[in-house]
Amino acid sequence: MEPSLPVAPALAIAGEWIAGGVGTHERALASPEVVDLGGRCVLPGFNDSHVHFPTWALAQRQLRLEGTASLDEALERIAAAAGEVQPGRWLRGTGWRSGDWSPPQEPTKEALDRVTGNTPAALMARDYHSLWLNSAALAHANGELEAAGGVVVRDDRGEPTGVLREECAWHFRDTYVRPTEDELLEASREGVRIAVGRGVTAVHDKDGWLGALGVWQRLRDEGSLTLRIWQSVPAEQVDELAALRIRSGFGDDLVRVGYLKAFMDGTLGSQTARMLDGSGVQITSREALAEIVRCGAEAGLPVAVHAIGDLANREALDAFAETRAVWQPLGLRPRIEHAQLLDAEDLPRFAELGVAASVQLSHAPSDRDLADRFWAGKTAGAYAYRSLWDSGALIANGSDAPIEELDPWAGVCAGVLRTIDERPAWHPEQRLTLEEALQATTVNPAWLARDERRRGKLIPGYLADLVVLDRDPFQVSPEALPQVEVVATMLGGRWVHNAPPWE
């Protein structure tokens, strides 16, 4: 990924570090240990720039409702899982999206009650912005479901239907359905193994609110953390960090406090994205975000803000623009997460301001039907990765797992192909090249984590964090990219997945 030396036939590694690229005619390697790649290809390790890691890890073990084509099909799966829940435990699940269901139907507590009985059930929507509950679950809240920035969906009589959105959904989850740290630890330990098997060597985690820092430290101490973590902390906790003088970058080689996380709006799938047409849900106002950015800057922490709708993005950019004199001289690296729908006027502002677009290349093809429906007539500015790239914006690629699978290579393919099925590319004019998609998955996330002088490229003095692929992706046709496979992964000079020899 170094433009001045894009390809080397061999690589020397000394301890944790890259010692140099080695040409065909040199035999400068002093070490007796030589790995013959046998025609395979080495790239810098993948960095997932947006992942809810413990939540994703936990979701690997929960009821999954992805791909259900109707409410009835979802209920069948729920009924089967409900029978397995131990007495006194919650039935937890994720992945439903009522927009996918035909006939079109919204979920209700009554439908859920029929298949779950007295077992409390909490089922997160695929976008994690809506929560579907049964009566046994609702009973825990004693009718206190409202929260600022959220919606309690109610029927004609004013009765909650069982669906909560945005802050109401999260408040309920955090109060009544929160997993224990041990549950998160067990799941994350296994999750690290899965991620490393997909060539991941670093993540920007978004689960600071869930206590991810505690989980990472325990995994590190027991020796099972083989990823580098750049951690978010909820913006509401800025005072606690400031009181302790914990600034961005605090931590060690594996686990570091990175940035504050805030939310402007909801999502496309829940139809809560905040739009210039006046629809959607406001979670944080422009003024409130500006205040968060100021407080963050004072404490030495950049802000990452979730913004999906075109108005949410405009107001987030406005807030960064109006506070520019505060954060820019400090060298803080702010970012907008998702940047999903942009008005043409706002698109160049990412580059102008130096605000990174932390996007999910896989969202474009997997959201195409919803976007065509809910954002009809506006999709020219949706998932506009090519336009952002050409404007000079810094693009970082993440999965937003568990919303998409934690699989950076799948994201790279989605960015290049703009399709994940047999259909032709969706808005092919917004495709990235393979080179660019890889840069968004290696070099750019390392820059966001202030690691641009030690990660993201394989050049002398950089950490030997790398992935071995079964073939050179630059030598295959774009259509064949999804067939490229991860063979092995190295972190800091140590094999952490499938050490050689390989057959």
Interacting residues toward Zn ion by CB under 5 A:
400
The rounded distance, in Å, linking the Cα atoms of 158 and 135 is 15
The rounded distance, in Å, linking the Cα atoms of 50 and 33 is 36
Q: Which is nearer to Zn ion, 208 or 473 (CB)?
A: 208
Q: Which is nearer to Zn ion, 400 or 451 (CB)?
A: 400
Least distance from Zn ion to the Cβ atom of residue 360, Å: 8
Find where tokens 């950076």 sit.
408
- Are residues 259 and 249 in contact, defined by beta-carbon separation less than 8 angstroms? no
- Are residues 49 and 398 in contact, defined by beta-carbon separation less than 8 angstroms? yes
The phi and psi torsions of 287 (rounded to 5 degrees) equal: -65, -45
Least distance from Zn ion to the Cβ atom of residue 374, Å: 19
Least distance from Zn ion to the Cβ atom of residue 351, Å: 23
Q: What letter would DSSP give residue 364?
A: H
Q: Which is nearer to Zn ion, 152 or 401 (CB)?
A: 401
Least distance from Zn ion to the Cβ atom of residue 409, Å: 19
Least distance from Zn ion to the Cβ atom of residue 305, Å: 12
- Are residues 208 and 232 in contact, defined by beta-carbon separation less than 8 angstroms? yes
Least distance from Zn ion to the Cβ atom of residue 441, Å: 17
DSSP string covering 10-62, please?
EEEEETTEEEEEE-TT------S-----TT-EEEEPEEEEEE-HHHHHHHTTS
Least distance from Zn ion to the Cβ atom of residue 52, Å: 6
Q: Which is nearer to Zn ion, 265 or 400 (CB)?
A: 400
The residue sitting closest to Zn ion, measured at its beta carbon, is: 400
Q: Strands, DSSP E only, in 324-411?
A: 335-338, 356-359, 395-397
Least distance from Zn ion to the Cβ atom of residue 282, Å: 18
Q: Which is nearer to Zn ion, 306 or 455 (CB)?
A: 306
The rounded distance, in Å, linking the Cα atoms of 403 and 128 is 8
Q: Which is nearer to Zn ion, 166 or 400 (CB)?
A: 400
CA distances from 132 to 2, 55, 97, 184 (A): 48, 17, 11, 22
DSSP string covering 198-221, please?
TTEEEEEE--GGGTHHHHHHHHHH
Q: Which is nearer to Zn ion, 400 or 436 (CB)?
A: 400
Least distance from Zn ion to the Cβ atom of residue 337, Å: 6
Q: Which is nearer to Zn ion, 248 or 358 (CB)?
A: 358
By the 10 Å C-beta count (0-12 exposed, 13-18 middle, 19+ buried), 434 is classed as: middle
The rounded distance, in Å, linking the Cα atoms of 425 and 423 is 7
